[in-house]
Amino acid sequence: MVQVLFMPDTANRVVRVKLKDGTYKEIQMDEDGFILNPADWCPEFVMAIAEEEGVSKLTDEHWKVINYLRDYYQTYDSCPPIRMLTKSTGFELKKIYELFPTGPAKGACRMAGAPKPTGCV
């Protein structure tokens, strides 16, 4: 179950996701849908926002990109350059756009729980 709540007096919103253990977690996002606190990320968050990103079913290929971006962000506190993303995942840029129709910065980084990139990804 997923609920999207809008925070009063801000453009921010909260996604309420049901975790595997049956409890609920509220995750705050900015006006563009990027997570405000990357430590709040969980796989259920990805599943909750996938359809917003044009992804009807998450595959192993999606998770390969998402996990790479998460690991990179946790190590370097930023998203990788697009060339590094394609080289490290083995996917051409065209494939990444097929997986994430809104693109690597908007879709993939958002689903990986990274904050909104300041430049191109």
Q: pLDDT, tens digit, for every residue of 5-26?
A: 444 445 678 888 888 898 999 9
The single residue listed with the structure tokens 């909750």 is 48
pLDDT tens digits, one per residue of 63-97: 999 999 999 999 999 999 999 999 999 999 999 99
Query: Which member of 42, 79, 109, 120 is catalytic?
Result: 120
DSSP 10: S
- Residue 120 predicted with pLDDT over 50: no
Could you tell me the CA-to-CA distances from 24 to 39, 44, 47 in Å, in that order? 16, 10, 14
Query: Domain boundaries in the chain?
Result: 2-111
Reading the block at residue 53, the tokens are: 């990103």
Q: Please report the pLDDT score of residue 119 as a whole number.
A: 57
At the topology level of CATH, where does 2-111 sit? Arc Repressor Mutant, subunit A (1.10.10)
Catalytic-residue membership of 120: yes
* Mean pLDDT, rounded, for 95-109: 93
